[in-house]
């Protein structure tokens, strides 16, 4: 059986042109330290990079790898003291310094490898499009796509196999729906929305009225609206509102396996990382970050620029600008102190038992005197 490393990397494009370090630095407005004429062919991680690869460091915990990486060039922060990096004289390190190395590296990746390409415009004869549906110009609609009555598909949209668009749903131009994504009836997508495989947009919210021991379904009469440039990860579910709309604001990016409950209102440019769960009727401001597995209780308000650490449990409203962590969520600095103390609980309990034993012994001796 061949070694894994012998298989071609998805990012390896043998036909891609080589760029000089100077070309790449000029492209992102950086400054070269080292050999600006070195040729670069692809982007790669620090550990696996070779002499014709470029990598990056934006997190200080990876700075140590700069002493050992074989990368031909590394994109780093503009303030990095490169003279403090030990390298043997036979293996000097070439750097591109820039104010935002992560974004700079992203720009280089787009230049070298390009973004994902999609099939040329085509409407497959094997798809099922209702007669009343309106299809824009230059769309790609793959085999086994289903588009219901009175749907509207904008120009240059891409719908892969197995996509289901239910009656009355609409999307504007340049949207991409990957295989088996589902858009329920009357959902609305803005421009350049991306929905990854298996995501479900607009299914019924979890609404039931319990009467005399029986749970009665509440009609979910609203819909879901995704504004321009929203991206939804694989197997994520966004529930339709019971009334009005569940709203995802412009530029928000939602990871895989996220659940957004009915009637939620998500602000602009939020980041909801994988496995976040938001209960119904909660709302976020703009530029909110919810890290992996954050849970948000229902009917809460989270202010602008709030950042919640992974696995935070948000059970009350959060004011704008706060960094929080823990369950229940608290100030992030306090959460770190609380969780550090948890590791000392066995020792604290042992010492407490010892003190209690001494107190019991002291009281016993006093009674005997």
CA separation for the pair 150, 128 (Å, rounded): 13
CA separation for the pair 195, 184 (Å, rounded): 13
101-104 — which CB contacts under 8 Å span 24+ positions? 101/56, 101/57, 101/58, 101/75, 101/76, 101/77, 102/56, 102/58, 104/28, 104/30, 104/56, 104/75
Whether 262 is catalytic: yes
Does residue 350 have a cis peptide bond before it, meaning omega lies within 30 degrees of 0?
A: no
**Coil, helix or strand at residue 236:** coil
Write out the DSSP string of 21-76: HHHHHHHHT-EEES-TT-EE-EE--TTT--TTEEEE--SGGGGGGGGT---SEEEE
Looking at residue 241, the DSSP 8-state letter turns out to be P
- Among 27, 113, 211, 262, the active-site one is 262
Write out the DSSP string of 120-172: PSEE-TTSEE-TT-EE-TT-EE-TT-EE-TT-EE-TT-EE-TT-EE-TT-EE-
CA separation for the pair 207, 220 (Å, rounded): 8
- Please enumerate in sequence order all residues whose Cβ is within 8 A of that of 331, keeping only pairs 6 or more positions apart, or say none: 322, 323, 324
- Cβ(297)–Cβ(274) below 8 Å: no
CA separation for the pair 34, 303 (Å, rounded): 45
Looking at residue 318, the DSSP 8-state letter turns out to be B
- CA dihedral over 233, 235, 240, 241, signed as positive or negative: negative
- Residues annotated catalytic, as ranges: 262
């Amino acid at each position: 059986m061949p070694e894994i490393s012998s298989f071609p990397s998805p990012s390896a494009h043998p036909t891609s042109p080589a760029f000089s370090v100077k070309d790449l630095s000029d492209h992102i407005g950086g400054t070269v330290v080292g050999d600006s004429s070195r040729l670069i062919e692809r982007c790669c991680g620090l550990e696996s990079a070779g002499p014709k690869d470029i990598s990056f460091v934006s997190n200080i915990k990876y700075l140590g790898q700069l002493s050992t990486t074989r990368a031909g060039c590394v994109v780093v922060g503009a303030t990095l003291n490169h003279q403090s990096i030990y390298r043997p004289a036979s293996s000097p390190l070439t750097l591109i310094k820039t104010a935002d190395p992560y974004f700079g590296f992203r720009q280089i990746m787009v230049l070298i490898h390009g973004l994902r390409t999609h099939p040329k415009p085509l409407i497959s004869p094997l798809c099922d499009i209702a007669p009343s549906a309106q299809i824009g110009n230059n769309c790609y609609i793959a085999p086994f796509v289903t588009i219901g009555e009175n749907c509207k598909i904008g120009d240059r949209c891409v719908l892969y196999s197995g996509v289901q668009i239910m009656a009355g749903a609409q999307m504007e131009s340049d949207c991409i729906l990957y295989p088996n994504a589902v858009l329920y009836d009357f959902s609305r997508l803005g421009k350049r929305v991306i929905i990854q495989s298996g995501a479900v947009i607009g299914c019924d919210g979890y609404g039931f009225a319990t009467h005399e021991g029986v749970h009665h379904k509440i009609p979910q009469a609203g819909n879901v609206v995704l504004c321009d440039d929203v991206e939804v990860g694989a197997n994520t579910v966004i529930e339709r509102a019971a009334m009005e709309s569940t709203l995802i604001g412009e530029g928000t990016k939602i990871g895989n396996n996220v659940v957004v409950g009915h009637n939620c209102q998500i602000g602009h440019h939020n980041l909801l990382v994988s496995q976040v769960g938001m209960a119904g009727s909660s709302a976020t401001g703009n530029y909110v970050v919810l890290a992996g597995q954050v849970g948000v209780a229902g009917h809460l308000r989270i202010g602008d620029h709030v950042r919640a650490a992974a696995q935070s449990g948000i059970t009350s409203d959060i004011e704008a600008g706060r960094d929080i962590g823990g369950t229940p969520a608290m100030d992030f600095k306090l959460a770190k102190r609380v969780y550090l103390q948890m590791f000392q609980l066995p020792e604290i309990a042992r010492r407490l038992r010892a003190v209690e034993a001494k107190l019991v012994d002291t009281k016993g001796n006093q009674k005997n005197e």
